[in-house]
């Protein structure tokens, strides 16, 4: 555990953020390796099936992880205030409520999988394969929830290293099983889905064992294994808006993808490549934001208002320092980075378009550094509806600008649409911070 109510803010934020961003990078690599192995050893049909199923599962997983993130903020507040009974009640309520919700979602998803895929107009030659894969992944969804819930609980008390260890174990186990059962024994896509579920189940079981054996402060007593209505109300108040916020991003990206699809196959390939670079570039900014949230929530629970402001500005400094690093790497190595993803006769044009996009983004990454920092602050302060408003403003403006700019400017227009969306988000968040939060706090 890490008590962020005492000690240097910069040190707490850095030590907390590093395992979070490493874990996020690992998850991106985890999914990439899974797809590479499936594509190489099963075939392009399996690769396509997993690619089609991914947006459906991502939407559900991001929504549930949002609920867990919101609940984690509440638990950080209780930890900072030293309210151990409330902390354990929150964990017990979240786990039981989540068990019910995730089980229902798993059953409904498995039943509705064919209808969802028909609505997505999945090609007939891979339809059955995709249905089977998606159903198995849905069945394993409760494991995904439990890992996210337990991880959020551990992070709420300042422990971001332990969830990283379990995630790393899961990633290595999944890759090893894929190589053995798909690469050596040549099993099909059913095995690919099963290995994913088994790996997620192992990470959830390890996290549960660690909670019981090593983190008694978080582990509910026998009497606390029940759904407390008042605690559940607070969890939903904190987690509900965050879940909606998490779900809004993939919906917006689907709409943006629809506009990109009209620019031709080469632009589509370039855009798919640079969005992966965007993910790797922006994930650390989100990790720093998670550290800010935990720091602010713990000190809010402890009633240490001065430390909240210090921690927030220390977090913004970290965000800017990271931008200087990633901006320089993207600017100077944009062509080699894009070249990693493509080969063949048309690679030169894809590299040209991707490099053009990353040239602009190497400067524009400063904007999400600030938006993520403010989002982390508002989340830690319990201003969940502020965070969702900011996200909706950003993705709406970005989507609309993409529809206007992409047809005339091409892939560069998509980059400028990102800039405008982030700017609109800051125009909402910065004034709200100074007039809606800071002045109200000073008036008390």
Over the stretch 47-72, which tens digit does the pLDDT of each residue have? 667 766 776 777 787 778 878 888 88
pLDDT tens string 100-153: 999 999 999 999 999 988 876 777 888 898 899 899 999 999 999 999 899 999
Where on the phi/psi map is residue 7: left (φ > 0), alpha (ψ -120 to 50), or beta?
left
Closest CA to 91 of 16, 144, 152: 152
Average pLDDT, the chain: 85
Q: Tokens 């992409």 identify what position?
A: 406
What does the pLDDT read at residue 47?
64
C-alpha distances in angstroms, 154 versus 28, 48, 120, 164, 229? 21, 36, 38, 11, 23
What percent of the chain is modeled with pLDDT above 90? 34
Structure tokens belonging to residue 2: 């890490």
What's the CA gap between 91 and 94, in Å, rounded? 5
- CA dihedral for 303, 308, 310, 311, sign (positive or negative): positive
pLDDT of residue 330: 93
- Alpha carbon distances (Å) from 225 to 72, 91, 92, 97, 117: 18, 9, 5, 10, 38
pLDDT category, 91, cuts 50, 70, 90? very high
Shortest CA distance to 159 belongs to which of 46, 285, 38, 3?
A: 3
156-180 pLDDT tens trace: 888 888 998 998 898 889 889 988 9
Question: pTM for the whole thing?
Answer: 0.78
In angstroms, the CA 76 to CA 82 distance is: 10
d(Cα 343, Cα 150) in Å, to the nearest integer? 42
What is the reported pLDDT for 32?
A: 66
Q: Which of 274, 271, 406 is nearest to 330 (CA)?
A: 274
C-alpha 132/C-alpha 25 separation (Å) is 28
- Whole-number pLDDT of residue 344: 63
pLDDT digits (tens, 9 = 90+) for 179-207: 898 878 778 888 888 998 999 999 999 99
Structure confidence at residue 212 as a pLDDT band (50, 70, 90): confident
On whether the CB atoms of residues 402 and 414 are closer than 8 A, the answer is: yes
**Would you report the helix, strand and coil content of the chain in percent, each value rounded to 5?**
90, 0, 10
pLDDT tens by residue, 285-300: 888 998 999 999 999 8
The mean pLDDT of 265-288, rounded to a whole number, is 80
What angle, rounded to 10 degrees, do the helices at 229-260 and 384-409 form?
0
Structure confidence at residue 332 (pLDDT): 95
Rounded Cα distance, 376 and 190, in Å:
39
Buried b (16+ CB within 10 A) or exposed e, 229-244: eebbebbeebbbbbbb
Question: What number is the average pLDDT over the span 229-248?
Answer: 82
pLDDT at 443: 47
Q: Is 383 left (phi over 0), alpha (psi -120 to 50) or beta?
A: beta
What values do phi and psi take at 365, rounded to 5?
Answer: -60, -15
| pLDDT value for 273 | 76
Q: Which residue has the tokens 């549960």?
A: 208
Query: Does the pLDDT at position 1 exceed 70?
Result: no
Q: Which sign does the torsion angle of CA 95, 308, 237, 372 carry?
A: negative
Q: What is the pLDDT of residues 308-364, one digit of tens each?
A: 989 999 999 999 999 999 999 999 999 988 887 666 666 788 889 989 999 999 999
What are the phi and psi torsion angles at 227 (to 5°)?
A: -85, 105
Average pLDDT on 210-230 reads: 87
Which of 224-233, 243-252, 296-305, 325-334 is the least confident region? 243-252
d(CA 38, CA 57): 17
The pLDDT confidence band at residue 239, using thresholds 50, 70 and 90, is confident
pLDDT at 341: 67
DSSP SS3 for 383: coil
Measure the CA–CA gap between 308 and 299, rounded to whole angstroms.
6
From 53-57, 226-230, 238-242, 301-305, the region with the lowest mean pLDDT: 53-57
Cα separation, 136 vs 197, in Å, equals 8
Q: What angle do CA 240, 245, 249 make, to 5 degrees?
A: 150
Mean pLDDT check: name the lowest of 62-76, 82-96, 109-123, 246-260: 246-260
What is the helix (H) or strand (E) element at residue 89, kind and residue range? helix 84-119
Tens digits of residue pLDDT in 11-47? 888 888 888 778 877 777 776 677 667 766 776 677 6
């Amino acid at each position: 555990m890490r008590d962020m109510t005492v000690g240097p803010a910069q040190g707490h934020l850095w030590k907390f953020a590093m395992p979070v961003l490493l874990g996020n990078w690992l998850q991106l690599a985890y999914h990439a390796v899974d797809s590479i192995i499936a594509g190489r050893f099963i075939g392009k049909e399996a690769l396509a099936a997993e690619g089609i199923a991914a947006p459906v599962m991502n939407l559900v997983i991001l929504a549930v992880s949002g609920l867990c993130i919101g609940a984690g903020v509440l638990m950080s507040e209780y930890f900072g205030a030293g309210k151990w009974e409330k902390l354990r009640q929150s964990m017990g309520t979240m786990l039981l409520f989540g068990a019910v919700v995730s089980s229902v979602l798993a059953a409904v998803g498995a039943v509705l999988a064919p209808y969802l895929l028909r609505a997505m107009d999945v090609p007939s030659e891979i339809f059955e394969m995709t249905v089977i894969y998606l159903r198995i992944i849905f069945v394993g969804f409760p494991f995904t929830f439990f890992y996210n819930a337990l991880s959020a609980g551990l992070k709420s008390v300042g422990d971001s290293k332990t969830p990283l260890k379990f995630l790393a174990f899961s990633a290595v186990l999944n890759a090893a099983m894929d190589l053995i059962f798909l690469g050596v024994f040549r099993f099909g896509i059913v095995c690919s889905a099963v290995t994913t579920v088994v790996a997620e189940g192992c990470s959830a079981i390890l996290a549960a064992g660690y909670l019981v054996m090593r983190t008694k402060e978080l582990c509910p007593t026998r009497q606390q294994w029940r759904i407390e209505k008042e605690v559940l109300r607070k969890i939903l108040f904190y987690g509900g808006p965050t879940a909606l916020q998490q779900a809004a991003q993939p919906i917006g990206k689907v709409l943006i993808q629809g506009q990109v699809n009209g620019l031709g196959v080469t632009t589509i390939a370039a855009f798919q490549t640079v969005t992966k670079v965007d993910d790797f570039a922006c994930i650390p900014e989100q990790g720093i934001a998670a550290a800010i949230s935990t720091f602010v929530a713990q000190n809010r629970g402890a009633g240490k208002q001065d430390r909240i402001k210090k921690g927030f500005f220390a977090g913004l400094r970290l965000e800017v320092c990271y931008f200087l690093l990633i901006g320089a790497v993207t600017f100077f190595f944009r062509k080699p980075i894009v070249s990693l993803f493509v080969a063949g006769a048309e690679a030169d044009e894809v590299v040209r378009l991707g490099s053009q996009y990353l040239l602009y983004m190497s400067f524009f990454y400063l904007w999400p550094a600030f938006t993520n920092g403010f989002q982390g602050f508002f989340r830690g302060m319990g201003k969940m509806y502020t965070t969702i408003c900011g996200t909706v403003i950003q993705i709406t403006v970005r989507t609309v600008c993409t529809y206007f700019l992409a047809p005339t400017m091409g892939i560069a227009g998509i980059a400028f649409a990102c800039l405008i969306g982030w700017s609109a988000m800051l125009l909402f968040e910065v004034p709200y911070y100074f007039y809606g939060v800071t002045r109200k706090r000073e008036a008390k």
